[in-house]
Amino acid sequence: MLRRRFGNLDSVGAGKASLAQFDRWRENRIRKLRDKRGYENCVPGVQPDLRFLQHNRNEPSVTWIGHSTFLIQMAGLNIVTDPVWARRMAFQKRLAPPGVELSDMPSVDVVLISHAHYDHLHVSSLRRLRGPKKMIVPAGLRRKLLLKGFLQAQELHWWEDTAFHGVKFTFVPAQHWTRRNPWDMNTSHWGGWVIEIDRGPTIYFAGDSGYFRGFTEIGRRFDIDVALLPIGAYDPEWFMSSQHVSPEEALQAFIDLKAKYFVPMHYGSFKLSDDTPEDALQRLETGRSELGIPKEKLLLLHHGETLRFTSVNSDQVKDGSDS
């Protein structure tokens, strides 16, 4: 039986390269790997407020674990995005430890998966998370999770939504691709998640994406308070641009989304391409200044740091370490 293959808006191809292009990237990468500058202390870790995270049932908050993994607390639920606590990715060691260790995580109610790439879905991490772990995943991924023994998986197509204990989850488009083995290219979908509660903040988690017109449409449909957007794995841009935004494109996506705050992610945990965390942060700051985006709109989290909403009726957030 032929399996469905998913695609992008406007039939944009991503994740495809000719042999000549791949060889060119590999040669450049070997050269750049010799230079270790740009990785040291770019994303400091802080001591997480474990007491708050374990007992919080009322205050919306966002805690960065690392890469694309966040603990989001809303309406009494503990929600984890793209769970990856792996100490290495392929042959690359993790650049910084997770902001909250698996053993310190509170019981998890919901897991959101953006797509099936290994740096966004680490099965061992998923198994070790405590709690009921209802999984909400892209179309096509439920069967793979069932085969791994995860029975509570609900899959959605783009723009579909589901509600759970007062929290609404909507699966929204992204420009990307996915594969976990040589035979399953694009047999499951990819996208981002919009998380909403009544009289509270709306959070957009982008997953992985190249820059595309979908950001504008997401911003038209939702009033987003905080956008969690990737800024890493963009170099070389001639190879990566269809699947990963550059820091400048992430800033433009933030403008397209009309979000109130921008939390960068997808950098500082794993070396997946030729850019460094230092490169990404420098370009992000330069781009922010050139676009005239107020500095307070850009919220650079440390690993383990928590953003806490001052109240469910306010669009202000504050650094949890100040409380």
Contact present, 48 and 306 (Cβ < 8 Å): yes
Give the separation between CA 25 and CA 28, rounded to whole angstroms. Answer: 5
Token pair in block for residue 206: 């982008």
Query: Quick one: DSSP state of residue 188?
Result: S
Distances (CA, A) of 285 to 272, 290, 297: 21, 9, 12
How many Cα atoms sit within 13 Å of 73 on the Cβ side? 22
**Torsion angle of alpha carbons 264, 265, 269, 272, nearest 10°?**
-110
Q: In the prediction, which pLDDT does 16 show?
A: 61
Indicate whether 253 pLDDT > 80.
yes
Q: In the prediction, which pLDDT does 23 show?
A: 56
**Torsion angle of alpha carbons 45, 254, 73, 131, nearest 10°?**
-80
More confident residue, 24 or 217: 217
Indicate whether 116 pLDDT > 90.
yes
Indicate whether 193 pLDDT > 50.
yes
Beta carbons within 10 angstroms of residue 161's beta carbon: 14
Q: In the prediction, which pLDDT does 314 show?
A: 43
Indicate whether 207 pLDDT > 70.
yes
Indicate whether 312 pLDDT > 90.
no
Give how far the C-alpha of residue 124 lies from the chain's centroid of Cα atoms, to the nearest Å: 18
Contact present, 260 and 226 (Cβ < 8 Å): yes
Task: Give me the residue label for tokens 């035979």.
Answer: 183
Span of 5-14, 48-57, 313-322 with lowest mean pLDDT: 313-322
Task: Give me the residue label for tokens 């590999």.
Answer: 26
Helices (H) and strands (E) in the chain, counts: 8, 16
Indicate whether 29 pLDDT > 80.
no
Indicate whether 272 pLDDT > 70.
yes
User: How confident is the model over 108-126, as a mean pLDDT?
Assistant: 97
Give the separation between CA 217 and CA 247, rounded to whole angstroms. Answer: 20
Give the separation between CA 57 and CA 145, rounded to whole angstroms. Answer: 29
Return the percentage of the chain with pLDDT > 70, whole number: 86
- As a residue count, the chain comes to 323
Give the separation between CA 167 and CA 294, rounded to whole angstroms. Answer: 30
Beta carbons within 10 angstroms of residue 305's beta carbon: 22
Q: What is the mean pLDDT of the chain?
A: 89
Global confidence as pTM? 0.92
Q: In the prediction, which pLDDT does 67 show?
A: 97
Q: In the prediction, which pLDDT does 244 show?
A: 94
Q: In the prediction, which pLDDT does 251 show?
A: 98
Q: In the prediction, which pLDDT does 28 show?
A: 60
User: How confident is the model over 268-273, as a mean pLDDT?
Assistant: 90
Give how far the C-alpha of residue 169 lies from the chain's centroid of Cα atoms, to the nearest Å: 15
Q: In the prediction, which pLDDT does 90 show?
A: 81
Residue 178 phi/psi, 5° resolution? -155, 155
- Could you tell me the pLDDT band of residue 296, with boundaries at 50, 70 and 90? very high
pLDDT digits (tens, 9 = 90+) for 141-185: 999 999 999 988 999 999 999 999 999 999 999 999 999 998 889
Beta carbons within 10 angstroms of residue 292's beta carbon: 6
Span of 29-38, 90-99, 108-117, 123-132 with lowest mean pLDDT: 29-38
User: How confident is the model over 121-136, as a mean pLDDT?
Assistant: 96
At 232, which amino acid appears? G
Q: In the prediction, which pLDDT does 92 show?
A: 83
Distances (CA, A) of 250 to 189, 259, 280, 322: 21, 12, 11, 28
Indicate whether 31 pLDDT > 60.
no
Is residue 162 classed exposed, middle or buried when 0-12, 13-18 and 19+ CB atoms within 10 A define those classes?
middle
